[in-house]
Amino acid sequence: MNRRNFIRTSAAFVGATVLATPAMASVLGTKSRYRISLAEWSFHKAIFAGEMSNLDFPRVTRELGMEGVEYVNQFFKDKAKDEKYLAELKKITKNEGVSNVLIMCDGEGMVGHPEKSEREKTVENHKKWIDAAAFLGCHAIRVNAGSRGTFEEQQKLAADGLHMLCEYGDKKKINVIVENHGGLSSNGDWLSGVMKMVDHKRVGTLPDFGNFTLDWNTGESYDRYKGMEQLMPYAKGVSAKSNVFNAEGDEANMDYYRLMKIVDDAGYKGFVGVEFEGSELSERDGVIATKKLLEKVFATL
């Protein structure tokens, strides 16, 4: 090997070695396989105060450097069937170059209501949001799996309601995903069991890093890391909840490195959604801090 080829070969080897180091890969701009979206609830204070509208949200998302938007239905509650409004929203997201990811649906009834007629009514109430999600180009709606009864009874009831909703979602090619969102839904055993019972390709979970409180009155909570491991096999979305940051920029009460390792080990390939809910930082600064933390963590995977 002559001197020129030796230098060229050695440089290539060193370059490959450097890029194999996560921290250096980040410095050199290697793109993570994860894309970051923004949950609209991160700006709920601004929206409730009239400082931002649902139509502003995609623009703000792009300004902050994120690629996808996760809507909250209560911020355009009366617009689910308003084609003119939805067309305007879709146009804005296209112009901003962001993807419509999902719609988080609240206030539309109890999916696992003990009365079958009420479960059916809840399914009907959610259909308009499935239609809106399909129109906007989202892949899913997020629903709550509320119910009443024993552990096992609530599993069966929630599974029945979700299966009915998935049958309609299948017609529109929209997934129906459940977030750990308090009560039994924050119990990994319970929700993973519901997923098995539904047994439909459209059903899935939206594991949230922070929502593992079983009882807000007593403070009882489920082990978040165990819960994430149980819910990730069914995940069609991931919510990176954040509240408080330490001096190093890490979430003070959650190990993001451990949580994202669980996500990564599950082979997940979708969006990771920033959802800031803290009060020590402004909503905008909290969102920026969460995005920076995720990018730092991504570089180690």
For the chain, the straight-line distance linking the first and the last C-alpha, in angstroms and rounded, comes to 37
How confident is the prediction for the chain on average, in pLDDT? 91
Max intra-chain CA distance, the chain: 82
Instruction: Let me know if residue 4 belongs to a domain.
Output: no
Neighbours of 107 (CB within 10 A): 9
The answer to whether the CB of 258 falls within 8 A of the CB of 228 is no
Domain assignment of residue 134, yes or no: yes
Q: Please report whether residue 16 resides in a domain.
A: no
Q: How far apart are CA 265 and CA 281, in angstroms?
A: 31
Identity at 68, one-letter amino acid code: G
Asked if residue 111 is part of any domain, the answer here is yes
Q: Is residue 185 part of a domain?
A: yes
The pTM of the full predicted model, rounded to 2 decimals, is 0.89
pLDDT of residue 8: 39
Q: What is the pLDDT of residues 104-118, one digit of tens each?
A: 999 999 999 999 999
Residue 62 placed within a domain: yes
DSSP secondary structure string for all residues of 3-60? HHHHHHHHHHHHHHHHHTSHHHHHHTTPPPS-EEEEEGGGGHHHHHTTSS-TTTHHHH
Number of domains the chain is built from: 1
**Can you give the pLDDT at residue 216?**
86
Q: Kindly report, residue by residue over 33-89, the tens digit of the pLDDT.
A: 899 999 999 999 999 999 999 999 999 999 999 999 999 999 999 999 999 999 999
pLDDT above 70 for 3: no
Q: Domain range holding 285?
A: 21-298
> CA–CA separation, 147 vs 182, rounded Å?
12
List the one residue out of 160, 167, 195, 161 whose CA is nearest residue 180. Answer: 195
Q: What is the CA radius of gyration of the chain?
A: 21
- Number of CB atoms found within 10 A of residue 5's CB: 9
| Spatial separation of the C-alpha atoms in residues 112 and 106, rounded to whole Å | 14
In the chain, the percentage of residues whose pLDDT exceeds 70 is 90
CATH classification of the domain holding 35: 3.20.20.150
With contact defined as beta carbons under 8 Å apart, do 226 and 258 qualify?
no
